[in-house]
């Protein structure tokens, strides 16, 4: 069924029409807004979770930074649900595609940088030179800081892509190892299956953590620039 | 079709209805309900307490009920087993690494749902109870506030009925104060009048005393003037002789005791 190892990472298409928009939009079916005053269990838990995350993330920002709340909250929810849904068998995870992660990271990062340069240009430029550097080191340090700034969106995107892709690949590989070992030695296969089970637990954690890290870093860049 | 027949019969009965022929399709559709107004938003119909019954977390109970008359209790299970074996044996479903991963992932999910499901459900119910309790507390507080206001109003009405005591006391106080003032003024008048009268009496007494003294001194002066030297000598000798007689008498009185 899978001719090579990377088949799960191909965008699925039905008769040549890419189903990617549907797949990306799919997680929003999970979040339903309550139409009544007393929501049902699912909605109550979601409301509670979203309130908890919002309070945790947006407390450190000032008024200008808090105007990004909706953006950041939707970001973390999207990445978390997409990653978690990707752990189900035979599913496709959009966040394994570098194109999509770059499409999320570059505009957000550039938004924070441009906002910083518009509102506080001196402070934004001052970020290029940490306090207390000895004078001869200044030119080199400015170059290093510029490179570090320009690498931020790339790092954001590649971090997410690599983590999720690597996790999926590992699950796939260890699963196939367990399958292959089944005909050779059942004991070894069981051990491999236990490893797979632990890895699955790890992948669930990684899915959530990566979403958190992505959003946290964007929020950090925002905090620097507001 | 029968409704068209009815329309035709109606047209035969009433010639005016013959002109309604173009309206026939519309009338045919008249039994359809068109949503012309926005739906009623309140009161919302109540939601069922529990969802539909499910067996094995996936298959609704109605499916088992649907198959029961024909295949009995084991029908759906036989169907499921047969389907799975068919897919596997014909390699319509191929066992790959994804299958092992699926077993692992779904096994984990089922385990977590079975173990922590009730806890999370209880937590969600508690959140909902908290929300309800908050609203209930607001309602109770409002009701209590209003009942307290009613109690206060009743108390104040009772107090109003007892106000006349207060007025009587105040009236008595004022009467007493007026009486005190009156008596003070009376006393003052008395003392003033007494002062004036005392003044007159003192003046009179003083005048009398002065007249008396004046008279006495006048009489003395005249007597002193009237007494000539001769008369004075005679008076003095007479006094001396009287004294001598008296001394003798006294001596004589004292001697017979011996």
The model's confidence at residue B250, banded by pLDDT at 50, 70 and 90, is: very high
> Angle, to 10 degrees, between the axis of helix A98-119 and the axis of helix A138-182?
160
Task: Classify residue A9 by its DSSP letter.
Answer: G
pLDDT tens track for B208-236: 999 999 999 999 999 888 877 888 889 89
| A41 inside domain | yes
| A2 inside domain | no
| Chain A hits for B104, Cβ within 8 Å | 171, 175, 193, 196-197, 199-200
Q: Are residues B98 and A36, on separate chains, in Cβ contact within 8 Å?
A: no
| Chain B hits for A171, Cβ within 8 Å | 101, 104
Q: How far apart are CA A211 and CA A110, in angstroms?
A: 19
Q: What CA–CA distances, in Å, run from B167 to A4, A156, B153?
A: 106, 86, 21
Q: Are residues B121 and A88, on separate chains, in Cβ contact within 8 Å?
A: no
Residue with tokens 């089944």: A182
Contacts of A170 (CB under 8 A, 6+ apart): A199
Q: How far apart are CA B81 and CA B68, in angstroms?
A: 17
| A183 inside domain | yes
Q: For position B78, what pLDDT does the model report?
A: 95
What residues of chain A, 95 to 134, have a C-beta less than 8 Å from chain B? Answer: none
Asked if residue B27 lies in contact with residue B21, where contact means CB atoms within 8 angstroms, the answer is no
Closest C-alpha to A103, from A214, A226, A28, A212: A214
What is the pTM assigned to this prediction? 0.69
- Is the ipTM above a cut-off of 0.90? no
| A60 inside domain | yes
Q: What CA–CA distances, in Å, run from B235 to B219, B231, B245, B248?
A: 19, 6, 15, 20
User: b or e along A146-161 (b: 16 or more beta carbons within 10 Å of the residue's beta carbon)?
Assistant: eeeeeebbeebbebbb
| A59 inside domain | yes
Helix (H) or strand (E) holding B200: helix B163-226
Average pLDDT, chain B: 87
Q: Is B138 on the interface with A (CB under 8 A)?
A: no
Compare all CA atoms of chain B with the CA of A182 and give the residue at the minimum distance.
B100
Grouping H, G, I as helix, E, B as strand and the rest as coil, residue B59 is strand
| Chain A hits for B124, Cβ within 8 Å | 41, 44-45, 48
| A1 inside domain | no
pLDDT tens track for A123-153: 888 887 778 778 888 888 889 889 999 999 9
For residue B17, count other CB atoms closer than 10 A to its CB: 15
| Chain A hits for B95, Cβ within 8 Å | 179
For residue A8, count other CB atoms closer than 10 A to its CB: 21
CA within 13 Å, CB half, B194: 6
* Minimum-distance CB partner of A44 among B96, B100, B127: B127
| A145 inside domain | yes
Range of the domain at A71: 7-225
Helix (H) or strand (E) holding B155: helix B97-161
Q: For position B37, what pLDDT does the model report?
A: 74
Q: How far apart are CA B205 and CA B197, in angstroms?
A: 12
Please provide the DSSP assignment of A187-217 as one string.
Answer: HHHHHHHHHHHHHHHHHHHHHHHHHHHHHHH
Residue B14 has pLDDT above 70, yes or no: no
Q: For position B10, what pLDDT does the model report?
A: 53
pLDDT tens track of chain A, all 226 residues?
456 788 888 888 889 898 999 999 999 999 988 888 888 889 999 999 999 999 988 888 888 888 889 999 999 999 999 999 999 988 999 999 999 999 999 999 999 999 888 888 888 888 877 787 788 888 888 898 899 999 999 998 999 999 999 999 999 999 999 999 998 988 888 888 888 888 888 888 888 888 888 888 888 887 877 7
Q: What CA–CA distances, in Å, run from A7 to A91, A174, A179, B1?
A: 11, 16, 18, 58
The model's confidence at residue B30, banded by pLDDT at 50, 70 and 90, is: low
What residues of chain A, 13 to 32, have a C-beta less than 8 Å from chain B? Answer: none
Residue with tokens 């692992």: B104
Q: For position A1, what pLDDT does the model report?
A: 43
Q: Are residues B100 and A193, on separate chains, in Cβ contact within 8 Å?
A: yes
Task: Give the count of domains, chain A.
Answer: 1
Closest C-alpha to A104, from A95, A116, A112: A95
**Sequence-ordered strand ranges (E) for chain A:** 13-14, 17-18
Closest C-alpha to A81, from A21, A29, A41, A35: A29
Q: β-strands A13-14, A17-18: how paired?
A: antiparallel
| A194 inside domain | yes
Grouping H, G, I as helix, E, B as strand and the rest as coil, residue A13 is strand
Closest C-alpha to A75, from A113, A42, A101: A101
């Amino acid at each position: 069924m899978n001719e090579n190892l990377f088949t799960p990472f191909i965008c699925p298409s039905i008769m040549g029409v890419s189903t990617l928009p549907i797949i990306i939009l799919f997680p929003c079916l999970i979040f339903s807004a309550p139409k009544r005053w007393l929501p049902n269990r699912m909605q109550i838990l979601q409301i509670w979770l979203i309130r908890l995350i919002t309070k945790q993330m947006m407390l450190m920002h000032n008024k200008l930074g808090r105007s990004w709340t909706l953006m950041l909250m939707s970001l973390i929810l999207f990445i978390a649900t997409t990653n978690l849904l990707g752990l189900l068998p035979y599913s496709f995870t959009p966040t394994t595609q570098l194109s999509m992660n770059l499409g999320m990271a570059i505009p957000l990062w550039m938004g924070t940088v441009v906002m910083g340069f518009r509102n506080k240009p001196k402070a934004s430029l001052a970020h290029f030179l940490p306090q207390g550097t000895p004078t001869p080191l200044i030119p080199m340090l400015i170059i290093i800081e510029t490179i570090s700034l320009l690498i931020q969106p790339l790092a954001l995107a590649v971090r997410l892509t690599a983590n999720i892709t690597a996790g999926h690949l590992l699950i796939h590989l260890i699963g196939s190892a367990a399958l292959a070992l089944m005909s050779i030695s059942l004991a070894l296969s069981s051990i491999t299956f236990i490893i797979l089970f632990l890895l699955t637990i790890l992948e669930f954690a990684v899915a959530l953590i990566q979403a958190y890290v992505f959003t946290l870093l964007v929020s950090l860049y925002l905090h620097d620039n507001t | 079709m029968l409704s068209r027949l009815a329309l035709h019969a109606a047209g035969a009965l009433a010639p005016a209805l013959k002109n309604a022929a173009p309206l026939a399709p519309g009338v045919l559709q008249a039994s359809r309900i068109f949503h012309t107004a926005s739906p009623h938003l309140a009161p919302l119909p109540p939601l069922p307490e529990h969802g539909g019954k499910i067996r094995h977390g996936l298959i609704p109970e109605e499916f088992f009920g649907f198959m029961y008359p024909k295949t009995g209790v084991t029908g759906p299970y036989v169907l499921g087993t047969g389907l799975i074996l068919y897919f596997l044996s014909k390699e319509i479903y191929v066992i790959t690494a994804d299958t092992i991963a699926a077993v692992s992932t779904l096994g984990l999910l089922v385990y977590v749902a079975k173990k922590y499901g009730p806890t999370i459900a209880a937590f969600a119910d508690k959140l909902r109870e908290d929300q309800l309790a908050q609203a209930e507390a607001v309602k109770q507080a409002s009701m209590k506030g209003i009942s307290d206001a009613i109690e206060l109003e009743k108390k104040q009405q009772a107090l109003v009925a007892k106000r006349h005591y207060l007025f009587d006391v105040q009236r008595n106080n004022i009467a007493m104060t007026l009486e005190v003032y009156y008596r003070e003024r009376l006393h003052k008048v008395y003392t003033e009048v007494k002062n004036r009268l005392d003044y007159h009496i003192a003046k009179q007494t003083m005048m009398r005393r002065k007249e008396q003294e004046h008279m006495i001194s006048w009489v003395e002066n005249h007597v002193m003037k009237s007494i000539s030297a001769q008369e004075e000598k005679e008076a003095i000798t007479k006094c001396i002789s009287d004294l001598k007689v008296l001394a003798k008498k006294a001596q004589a009185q004292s001697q017979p005791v011996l």
